């Protein structure tokens, strides 16, 4: 029986293709978690369901004392709006690939964990930036000493077939700006306060924000809703969404202050009032431990070859970094798997060649065994 379990090696590309067909949004990963749990059961791995909502945790315990190592994959897909207003779910960030890589790694690690504990975390709701916090609330992170995450990378970041040892994620958050005006008949606009015009002014003000160019940062309007109920009514309310990113948490604070000033100024220019609020938490910037990152670097050289180590990249945000923020003693690293994702992550038709996932599996296994093998 045990021999049979040890012989099962999962194929990451094949599993990714299966998971790709069942894309689910954050905290709705019912079929995906079912898939994960059934695969872990096939391997005979102790499994906890419902972690942080729809997450799954696999646990492999060694017989000797040692560290608790967490390998983490995210599971959720992204929503895209169809022309008829319906929402289509698409794995446009490659999380199907991450889940597949961690399952394949699990199949190679079964029977090889001698020291400490290996936790395999299949996290829900990364895209909504709420999944890691929900996992933290479940207590799964409290005993973790080392946490390792990974993400497929687009062709813009690193070449296909390579891996980079660190992705330097920036701090990020979503901001909602609300402008309050006053409705009036469109033939008497002087009696109203046009929130749509203030929203336009605010959009220009956001584009004019300037911060220290020595640090990476960006903010951009990603949605404007300033519709009145009829074209001849001056709209009294506007809601504007802004995506905000910064290389440091200090730059993030400065940007949020400037957005607040911008919305107040834009609203005041037409006689209204404005305010901003962050939608959910501000995701912290990456905070890695160089000794673990160096181990990842060595593993990439060893298992893929010296020429397959790519330069570190920096793009996007990740709720993975909440783990170290929750427990600062955690040694964290997060590497990139060059998979030629094109045209880019979060594109509705994002695609990549699943064969590159095998590289991520090899690195995961090698790094994990350094600590629990």
Task: Report the interface residues with Zn ion, using CB under 5 A.
Answer: 93
- Residue 351 makes CB contacts below 8 A (sequence gap 6+) with 341, 342
Among residues 93 and 118, whose Cβ is nearest to Zn ion? 93
Least Å distance, CB 98 to Zn ion, is: 8
The first and second tokens of residue 250, run together, are 């200090």
Count of alpha carbons within 13 angstroms of residue 221, beta-carbon side: 23
For tokens 């009036």, what's the residue?
184
Residue nearest to Zn ion (CB): 93
Least Å distance, CB 150 to Zn ion, is: 10
Q: CA-CA distance, 112 to 373, in Å (whole number)?
A: 6
Least Å distance, CB 99 to Zn ion, is: 11
Among residues 93 and 365, whose Cβ is nearest to Zn ion? 93
Least Å distance, CB 318 to Zn ion, is: 7
Among residues 94 and 116, whose Cβ is nearest to Zn ion? 94
Q: CA-CA distance, 76 to 62, in Å (whole number)?
A: 30
Among residues 93 and 201, whose Cβ is nearest to Zn ion? 93
The first and second tokens of residue 325, run together, are 């923020």
Among residues 145 and 243, whose Cβ is nearest to Zn ion? 243
Least Å distance, CB 174 to Zn ion, is: 13
Least Å distance, CB 149 to Zn ion, is: 10
Among residues 193 and 339, whose Cβ is nearest to Zn ion? 339
Least Å distance, CB 95 to Zn ion, is: 6
Among residues 96 and 197, whose Cβ is nearest to Zn ion? 96
Among residues 93 and 136, whose Cβ is nearest to Zn ion? 93
Least Å distance, CB 245 to Zn ion, is: 13
Least Å distance, CB 234 to Zn ion, is: 38
Among residues 93 and 364, whose Cβ is nearest to Zn ion? 93
């Amino acid at each position: 029986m045990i021999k049979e379990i040890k012989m099962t090696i999962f194929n990451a590309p094949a599993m990714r293709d299966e998971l790709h067909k069942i894309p689910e949004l954050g905290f709705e990963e019912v079929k995906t978690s079912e898939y994960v749990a059934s695969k872990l059961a096939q391997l005979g791995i102790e499994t906890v369901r419902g972690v942080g909502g729809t997450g799954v945790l696999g646990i492999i315990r060694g017989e000797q004392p040692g560290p608790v190592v967490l390998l983490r994959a995210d599971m959720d897909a992204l929503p895209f709006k169809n022309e008829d207003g319906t929402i289509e779910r698409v794995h446009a960030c490659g999380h199907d690939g991450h889940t597949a890589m961690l399952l394949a790694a699990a199949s190679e690690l079964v029977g090889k964990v001698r020291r400490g504990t290996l936790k395999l975390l299949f996290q829900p709701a990364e895209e909504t930036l709420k999944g890691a916090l929900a996992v933290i609330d479940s207590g799964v992170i409290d005993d973790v000493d080392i946490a390792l995450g990974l993400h497929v990378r687009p062709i813009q970041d690193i070449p296909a077939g390579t891996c980079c040892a660190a992705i330097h994620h920036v701090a990020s958050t979503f901001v909602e700006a609300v402008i309050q005006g006053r409705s009036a008949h469109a033939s008497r606009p002087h009696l109203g306060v046009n929130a749509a015009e203030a929203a336009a002014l605010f959009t220009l003000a956001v584009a004019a924000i300037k911060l220290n160019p020595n640090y990476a940062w960006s903010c951009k309007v990603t949605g404007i809703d300033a519709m009145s109920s009829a074209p001849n009514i001056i709209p009294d309310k506007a809601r504007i969404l802004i995506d905000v990113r910064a290389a440091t948490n200090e730059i993030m604070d400065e940007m949020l202050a400037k957005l607040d000033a911008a919305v107040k100024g834009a609203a005041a220019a037409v006689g209204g009032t404005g305010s901003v609020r962050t939608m959910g938490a501000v995701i912290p910037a990456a905070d890695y431990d160089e000794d673990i990152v160096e181990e990842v670097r060595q593993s990439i050289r060893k298992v893929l070859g010296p020429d397959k180590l790519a330069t570190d990249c920096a793009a996007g945000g990740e709720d993975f970094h909440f783990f170290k923020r929750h427990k600062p003693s955690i040694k964290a690293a997060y590497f990139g798997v060059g998979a030629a994702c094109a045209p880019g992550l979060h594109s509705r038709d994002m695609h990549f060649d699943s064969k590159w996932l095998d590289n991520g599996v090899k690195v995961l296994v090698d790094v994990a065994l350094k600590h629990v093998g």
